Amino acid sequence: MNKHIKIIGIQAIFLIAVLIVIYFLYPKTEVNVNENLVDFKSINANVIIISENPDFSNPRYLKIEEGGNAALNLNPGTYYWKADNGIIEGMKNEIIIKSEVGIEINRTENKSELINIGNVKINVTRNEEGVLVGYVTLEPDESKEIEDKGGYTGRQAG
């Protein structure tokens, strides 16, 4: 009976020891998402693996620099990521980058410009008295000179 308790004890110690080792070796990573910018901070990971698929097919690898930081801009969508330090590959996490449709009319003395201030490609229609009179497609940050009248409506393209 004593031997059995010893064996169970040894196994428990072994298990605890392994879990402690895993805890210390586990790549601990924090992520901050600010609009399209995803910023990873880690104390012991070398690489962040990112994929658009939960099974991590077609992954991309983001190298973490010496300061423990890595940042990248992602297009709107759902992404899966895990940290890796060459010893342990971390658990799967999810990031959702929301699509943002935004338009701005910037008026100066001589002209008016329509700017895509969102993070996706947009189709902008121009209406006058309820009738569609124009149409333009703008990439993020792209601008176009416009007539300062009517109504401009922006919607996600594609």
Q: For binding to another protein (CB under 8 A), which residues are involved? A: 3, 7, 11, 14-15, 18, 22, 26-27, 46-47, 49, 52-53, 57-63, 65, 70-72, 76, 84-91, 98-108, 112, 117-118, 120, 122, 142, 146-156
In the block, which residue shows the tokens 């698929």?
53
Contact assessment for residue 112 and residue 146, using Cβ atoms and an 8 Å cutoff: yes
Shortest CB 16 distance to another protein, Å: 12
Pick the closer one to another protein by CB: 91 or 131.
91
- C-alpha count within 13 angstroms, C-beta hemisphere, residue 153: 11
Contact assessment for residue 117 and residue 102, using Cβ atoms and an 8 Å cutoff: yes
Two structure tokens written together for 109? 């003395």
- Quote the CA–CA distance of 131 and 69 in Å, as a whole number: 51
Pair type for strands 143-146 and 112-116: antiparallel
Shortest CB 57 distance to another protein, Å: 6
Shortest CB 41 distance to another protein, Å: 13
Q: How many CB atoms are located within 10 Å of the residue 26 CB?
A: 17
Shortest CB 147 distance to another protein, Å: 7
Pick the closer one to another protein by CB: 34 or 58.
58
Shortest CB 98 distance to another protein, Å: 5
Environment class of residue 108 by beta-carbon count within 10 Å: exposed (0-12), middle (13-18) or buried (19+)? exposed
